[in-house]
Chain A
Amino acid sequence: ELKVEQNPLFLSMQEGKNYTIYCNYSTTSDRLYWYRQDPGKSLESLFVLLSNGAVKQEGRLMASLDTKARLSTLHITAAVHDLSATYFCAVVEYGNKLVFGAGTILRVKS
């Protein structure tokens, strides 16, 4: 059974600082997704990572995938308050079934 672990589960950071969220998964998979969720809202797709070494960037967020280490990272550069949200990684188990991590609650303090 595929397990997905995220850490940290809670991250409080100052504006302007950098930090990384880690996503480890237990068995081989060919796709990994990052989603953002604002309180009480739906999930917004951020990145889709399909291959080993894939790196994608959007604004202050950059995601990477190492399939050999079964690890993905979501790096936040020069955080701003608007990035405060919960971030989930999700890994495909079979077919298109997504297994989600527990989520990382990010709070950016000004």
Chain B
Amino acid sequence: EIVLTQSPATLSLTPGERVTLSCRASQSVSNYLAWYQQRPGQAPRLLIYDASNRATGIPARFSGSGSGTDFTLTISSLESEDFAVYYCHQRSNWPSTFGGGTKIEIK
């Protein structure tokens, strides 16, 4: 099973800041990696797929990069609605797995 390790677990930030989240895979997943956002009480929402492609309707302030084992999600300038939990997810190998999540909270 491929283990995805996200860091940090929690970030305390203010609106307007730039943030970079990390996701590291225990073995290569090529570019078969996605990022999801989950706001409290809501279902997850697809942000980025294939490591660097924005999903439909996702603002340009969200970007993804990486391949193989190291991936990042960058939010160029935090908006109030971006304070949420972010998960990476790989579909390279079964079982499909999620990272443990990074929570972005308001400082």
Partners in one complex: no
- Which chain A residues have a beta carbon within 8 Å of chain B's beta carbons? none
